[in-house]
Amino acid sequence: MVADVSYTGPDFDPPRQRRTRRAPLTVAFAALVPGALLGWLVYEAAGGGAGRTASPAPAPRSATVSGITPAASPGDDAKASGSPSARPGGAGPLRGKVVVVDPGHNPGNFHHTAEINRQVDIGTNRKECDTTGTSTDDGYTEARFTLDVAHRLRTLLEEQGATVRLTRDDDSPAWGPCVDERARIGNTARADAAISIHADGSAEGDRGFHVILPGSVHAGAADTRAIVGPSHDLGVRVAGTFLRETGEPPSNYVGDGTGFVTRTDLGGLNLSTVPKVFIECGNMRDSKDAALLTSGAWRQRAAQGISEGIVSFLRGS
């Protein structure tokens, strides 16, 4: 769930209207999508998925999605190692590159409603500093999910030589940071790429992932015009590799089956001066998606998919 949407907890997540049919994809847009995602989208555009809930593509490698055992135990979470701030990268193809990873929300936000409800400037208007995020019906929170995926992603990117900074970590303040500060962290680091990790909180039966791209904004403190193009490139690459590694389909309830949504109301994107996208990895309130999101094995694949998209973007390959 994106940080700029105001929710006070799982019981208050408003259902979204499901879409039962996909709009045809334009040739120009589809031509930009990597092979793995393109194959899915061509199938959907041809009517193969019309009128039904999307089901996941076959899982990669030897594991199958149905074979994953859901687990939300603390021992299944990836553990942070070393400093939570930027750590210098080692030898590898991404040496000299800086990536900022933004794990959405904070577990302490539930106890700091006054602080996170404070209005901040996002360029186009003012919105809440942050929100609580959502959770599965069993109580596995989005904030815990996003930090776990961020830890796994950091490890993978550091193995490629990148310097990685998280916007929050285990020893972060008790709440936040605010959405404007999350953007500022990426800007100050002069990140070559930034990604905000989330999971959605829609209705049962709403499934799949989607990548949120920044729209063109030039208002107040926001000016995304220089990053719209590279952010689109980053998002397309991440979507393709995420689908390939996880088998999670593009969302069947937003984005018309494309796996992409462009928004101009998110402070984390509006205020960014570096290429940045959000990824909603799945819907925590759908039982099938929740079984994946609570699996450490699947979260590792999610991190792998995101990592491969970022590596592809930074290497221009």
CA R_g for the chain: 18
Average pLDDT of span 74-97: 66
Whichever domain contains 286, its CATH number is 3.40.630.40
- Find the helix packing angle between 142-159 and 296-315, rounded to 10°: 50
Q: Is 67 a member of any domain? A: no
Number of domain units in the chain:
1
Q: Is 41 a member of any domain? A: no
pTM, full prediction: 0.78
Task: Kindly give, in sequence order, each residue whose CB lies less than 8 Å from that of residue 257, ignoring residues fewer than 6 positions away.
Answer: 22, 23, 25, 41, 44, 45, 49, 54, 250, 251
Average pLDDT of span 104-108: 92
Q: Is 20 a member of any domain? A: no
pLDDT of the residue at 239: 98
pLDDT of the residue at 172: 75
Q: Is 2 a member of any domain? A: no
Average pLDDT of span 250-257: 97
Which residue would you say has higher pLDDT here, 195 or 34?
A: 195
Q: Is 21 a member of any domain? A: no
Q: Is 253 a member of any domain? A: yes
Average pLDDT of span 71-92: 57
Q: Is 24 a member of any domain? A: no
Confidence tier at 86 by pLDDT (50, 70, 90): low
* Mean pLDDT taken over the chain: 80
Q: Which range of residues forms the domain containing residue 205? A: 87-315
Active site residues: 280
Confidence tier at 88 by pLDDT (50, 70, 90): low
Confidence tier at 79 by pLDDT (50, 70, 90): low
Task: Kindly give, in sequence order, each residue whose CB lies less than 8 Å from that of residue 119, ignoring residues fewer than 6 positions away.
Answer: 126, 127, 128, 129
| Pairing assessment for the beta strands 193-200 and 98-103 based on DSSP bridges | parallel
Q: Is 28 a member of any domain? A: no
